[in-house]
Amino acid sequence: MDWKYLFTSFEGRINRAKFWAGIGVLIAISIVASILDAIIGLQISDSGFGILGLIVAIGSIYFALALYAKRWHDRDKSGWWSLIGLVPIIGGIWMLIELGILEGNRGPNRYGPDPLA
């Protein structure tokens, strides 16, 4: 798997397995950052959030958007559909279903060849 392409490119298509692998990596990194915050003592007051975790969360936005865009492309939709996530509750559920559960379009589409072919 080309990790650089997975996390930095907004072009092309990825299947569900690569999408979940990328999301898993981002979650693992955030867990490690939270643990390091607790060990080092970089937590901000009693909120449970730490400075390192906050930096990782802000940095992860770009990588998550790259994953989302390629997955939307596999569904034959523009990466701008990621903005649906800004709608409270329904947007997150919609993204989970569209990106994480539903199958991508079979065969080539306007965003590139089928990632499973």
117 in Cβ contact with 110 (< 8 Å): no
Q: Is the pLDDT of residue 39 over 90?
A: no
Residue 30 covered by a domain: yes
User: What is the structure's pLDDT at 45?
Assistant: 66
3-state helix, strand, coil in the chain (%, to 5): 65, 5, 30
- Domain assignment present for residue 66? The answer is yes
**Does any domain span residue 106?**
no
pLDDT in tens, 86-101: 999 999 999 999 999 9
Q: How many structural domains comprise the chain?
A: 1
Domain that holds residue 33: 3-101
C-beta of residue 69 within 8 angstroms of C-beta of residue 79? yes
Query: Residue 49 pLDDT more than 80?
Result: no
With a cut of 80, say whether residue 14 has pLDDT above it. yes
92 residue type, one letter = G
Separation of alpha carbons 64 and 14, rounded Å: 13
Predicted pLDDT of residue 44: 74
This prediction's pTM: 0.90
> Each residue of 37-55: b (16+ CB within 10 Å) or e?
beeeebbeeeeeebebbee
Tens of pLDDT, residue by residue over 52-82, are: 988 999 999 999 999 999 999 999 999 999 9
Q: Does residue 37 belong to any structural domain of this protein?
A: yes
Q: Is residue 116 part of a domain?
A: no
Residues 6+ apart with CB under 8 A from 102: 75
